[in-house]
Structure 1
Amino acid sequence: MDDNHTRSTPYRTHRTAGGTTVVTLRGELDVMTAPSLTARLDALASGPLPDLVLDLRPVSFIDCAGLGVLCRVRNRVKARNGRLRLVTNSSQFLRILRHTELTGVFDIGSRLPEEAAGTPVADSVSASAD
């Protein structure tokens, strides 16, 4: 990685559609972006019955710290009797989940859920600078 490479905060905003909070993650989910992303997702999952959708389709890289963030938010959502869904069409990410035996842990789809799909995608969370 280039020494001049700078990373942005892994979130800017999120959007809510029909009671579902949709967060589009972009770039890299790694040890550098995990702390701020964890803080933002913890806040979004803090209420009763959180319904979160994490759109991972624009994510270009995820390491064990990124997987840790996903597991943490899943556990927080589940503890509050909520729902977490991941959206990805990355065969590489699905392979990582298989190898780490996390495939059955997450609710995974290749498209946004119907209740969130009709809302314009205006807000996103950037995991790293483009």
Structure 2
Amino acid sequence: MADNHTRSVAYHTTRTDHGTTVVTLHGELDLLAIPVLSTVLDSLTAGAEPDLVLDLGPVSFIDCSGLSLLCRVRSRVRSRIGRLRLVAPDGSFLRLLRCTGLVGAFELYPGLPEALAGKDLAGPASAAVA
């Protein structure tokens, strides 16, 4: 039997904007992508008071392992008295958070400029999704 497994394509870009580390995640956040992304995010959250923005806009799919990674990053950032912001421009990620009971667990923004400005829009964004 031929082994026709396709490998998910996930990659990231990292930059710093006025002391905030911005990581743009691309592709699928699934079981195959998590080991590499976990190493990167562990490194970025290893120091004291990490200030991290994860842009999920280019992410096409998130499974339970991807959601688990985001929760792990959140815990690491909080334990180091830091800040984690997620950019989720469409409602699909918010629906995922609602289904899993995590809707209030993350600081959510509709775009990168809002996340970098620090305007917390999680309340209105949460209310807008039915």
- TM (normalized to structure 1)? 0.80
Code of the residue aligned with 1:106 in structure 2: it is F
Match of 1:38 in 2: 38
If you compute each CA radius of gyration, which structure gives the higher value, 1 or 2?
2
Greater relative CO (CA pairs within 8 A, separation 6+): 1
Match of 2:96 in 1: 96
- Cα drift, residue 15 of structure 1: 0.3
What's the C-alpha RMSD, in Å, of the aligned pairs? Answer: 2.0
Identity between Structure 1 and Structure 2 (%): 56
Q: Distance between the aligned counterparts of 1:74 and 1:55, measured in 2? A: 14
* Aligned 1:28-107 pairs, distance under 5 A: 28-107=28-107
Over 3 Å counting, the alpha-carbon distance change for 1:26 and 1:80 in structure 2 is same
Q: Which runs of 5+ in 1 are unaligned?
A: 118-130
**Structure 1: 4+ residue segments shifted above 3 A:** 4-11, 113-117
Match of 1:122 in 2: none
Match of 1:22 in 2: 22
What is the aligned residue count?
A: 115
Higher helix residue share: 2
SS in 2 for 1:93: helix
- TM (normalized to structure 2)? 0.80
- Cα drift, residue 100 of structure 1: 0.6
- Cα drift, residue 101 of structure 1: 1.0
